[in-house]
Amino acid sequence: MRSVKNNRNMSRRQIFRKALLALTVIACLPVFAVTPAWADQLDDLRRSGAVGEAFDGFVRARDGSAQGFVATLNEQRRAIYVKRAKTENVTVEQVGRVYAVEIFKKAPAGTWFLNENGQWTQK
């Protein structure tokens, strides 16, 4: 009985941690729009199909011309994810995945998304 209770408590702690992480991430999403120019450029590149969003919270270049933009944006995102991961005592990968869900929700129609299987789908 005691081990069942401990497992239940662990599950509650894990759920609480994930919920807290999700709320924190949502509160931090405006950080992605550091400047309107960056947000506009990202939306333009998404619309053109030159960049897409991935399951891990990072952008991917679908066209070679977007490599520089993608590298810079991913550096910024990684810095945010690392900081959040340290704060929440979770992995950077976990943070990225939570952000990816929110990015998907907020991304404009037509945005390409890379799933874990390596397949691109369009929103």
pLDDT tens-digit readout, 34-77? 456 667 889 899 999 999 999 999 999 999 999 999 999 999 99
Query: Residue 120 and residue 104: Cα distance in Å, rounded?
Result: 13
> Which helix (DSSP H) or strand (DSSP E) does residue 60 occupy?
strand 59-61
What proportion of the chain, given as a percentage, has pLDDT over 70?
Answer: 69
Query: Residue 58 and residue 42: Cα distance in Å, rounded?
Result: 12
**Which pLDDT belongs to residue 4?**
45
Mean of the pLDDT values across residues 17-23?
61
Output the pTM of the full model. Answer: 0.71
Tokens of 62: 């679908």
pLDDT above 80: residue 9 = no
* pLDDT tens track for 87-110: 999 999 999 999 999 999 999 999
